[in-house]
Amino acid sequence: MHEALTGLLEQKAPIGRDTWGSWWDLLGDGGLDTAQVVGLLASLTSRLPDHDTLRHLLDSLAERRPPTTVTGPWEGTVNVVGTGGGPRTFNISTASAFVAAAAGVKVVKTGSRAYTSSLGSVDLLERLGVRLTSSYAQTEDTLAAYGIAFAGPFVYPAQLTRLARTVAPLSMKPFGRFLNALGPFLADLPVAAQITGVSAAAPLDTLRQLAASTLTRRIWLTANDTGADELLPFATNTVYGERAMTRIIRPGELAPGDGSFGDLRPVTDPADAVSHFLSVLSGTAGAVATRTVALGAAALLVAEGTRRDWPSAVALAQGAILSGAARDLAERMAAAPKPGPKPAPKPAAPAPRTRAVSRA
């Protein structure tokens, strides 16, 4: 049994970077059987280890990434991604990303298919007709064209795919709690800032330590007293920033505090997800939905620096919704030409036939 697995099972702390490196090397060489991989994932899902072990895990993955080909840091760009696992709502963070972009901040949204919900951000975008980017160059082009991009799986370590292949045909859904909790720290994006909502299902204190020890971007974590991984106008929210900066947002402080999760519930029929999502972006899905999405977008505006104070950020975000700018942005992206199949190569022209010349 590999030392990484025994360390988790015996709760040895910390598990070092070299041990994790050995695990990934063996995984890549096919030297780990399904039972060991399932055991490790199950252990991480049932109980996340200490911060140092997770920091070594993340660093061991980072040093195995291929060199990224980007033109430079994406200054003024913010990533938004949540841990999932809280009360069920529509895709608030995806809506907030569109609203923030329509309000003037560049946004890169990362996410996944549903692990703990019925419709993840990737599932929704697929139905909407907005495609994920497949490279850093394409992400930069999409940001330049629309001010927002939805990054595909290429930003995540290839080792995650190897884990999934090793446990197949077992689904990765049983391990969604671990994948959702650590996922926000796995994407390799040269953004300036990141907003991550943390639900009650994720270990907030450990994730705060990971955020503080992440040097490639500043990470703000948000949490509230309802256990959701979103900022909510009817909840007491806490925003944890860098250098122990904490901002508490109480009900009624930035927007009316009435409302409940009943105002944010997802549609029951996935076929209605797109029409409902567009109604959210245009402000016709109810006042509570509008205020909630605007509050999430305001966090992106403040984190990136487009606005320094929260009240003006909320007002700017609400304007992007009620003016129709957010819905227009989503519809323009959905209507963008999709890459078609590559044309079949033309057959080579036949070689010219030569006529035999008789020689007398």
The H or E element containing residue 80 is strand 74-80
* pLDDT tens digits for range 199-250: 998 999 999 999 999 998 999 999 999 999 999 999 999 999 876 578 999 9
pLDDT, one tens digit per residue, over 9-46 is: 998 889 999 999 999 999 999 999 999 999 999 999 99
pLDDT at 112: 61
Of 160-169, 319-328, 341-350, the range with the lowest mean pLDDT is 341-350
Query: Does residue 337 have a cis peptide bond before it, meaning omega lies within 30 degrees of 0?
Result: no
What kind of architecture, by CATH, is found in domain 74-151+187-334? 3-Layer(aba) Sandwich (3.40)
Q: pLDDT tens digit string along 70-118?
A: 667 899 999 999 998 889 999 999 999 999 999 999 999 987 654 444 5
Intrachain domains 3-62 and 74-151+187-334 with the same fold: no
3-state secondary structure of 116: coil
Please state which CATH class domain 3-62 belongs to: mainly alpha
DSSP class per residue in 249-289: E-TTSSS-----GGGSPPPSSGGGHHHHHHHHHTT-S-HHH
Domain parsing of the chain, residue ranges: 3-62, 74-151+187-334
